[in-house]
Structure 1
Amino acid sequence: MFGDMMNMMGKLKETQKKVEETKKRLDTVLIDESSHDNKLKITLTANRTIKSIEIDDELLQDKEQLEDYLILTLNKALEKATKVNEAELAAAAKEGLPNIPGMDMFK
């Protein structure tokens, strides 16, 4: 019994380490998103840190239009990044989870 508990604790620590490594790696995964007409381009990491924003000069003439473009394009980029982030972290956690009764929702 005690050996099983120690083995489980070891696997949990190993899983935690894999999750942390995955988080660091996701800082290097870049997500690109553009407006439908390519007047606005956004790049962010899978950890949802904005890396760059490119704005066409035409959008700089209309504040309200630029704000709309930013909201729409940032939301699309954040949605993509969140999907990648959640999938990668779930895979890292699932890989190392010990077989605990009742915790099969992660499998």
Structure 2
Amino acid sequence: MAEVQLIIGGRSHTVACRDGEEAELEALGRRLDRHADAAARAAGSAGGERMMLFIALMLADELAETERTRGDGDGNVAAVLQHIARRLESVATALENGPVQL
């Protein structure tokens, strides 16, 4: 099992992943970090968990817009959003409790 250091919103987080998945996880971390400044402003002083919620909402909005422009059905969007929600819950757990396998 590998561990990856992600920097999201200026905070370092250690996340475990399967060997060989490090680059993908690092890319996902960079994607989250691109939204961190706006999410931190939206969250105010509420802290990291609320900031991650706003990042999740921004990513969900991007996904929904992409699905709308592609003309995919609503059922597919809902399934993808549920998948994203499960992944974000894993990230939140990692942030709160230390390394977990995603």
For Structure 1 versus Structure 2, the TM-score category normalised by the shorter chain is 0.3 to 0.5
Give the TM-score taking structure 2 as reference length: 0.36
Give the TM-score taking structure 1 as reference length: 0.35
Higher helix share: 2
- Bigger radius of gyration, 1 or 2? 1
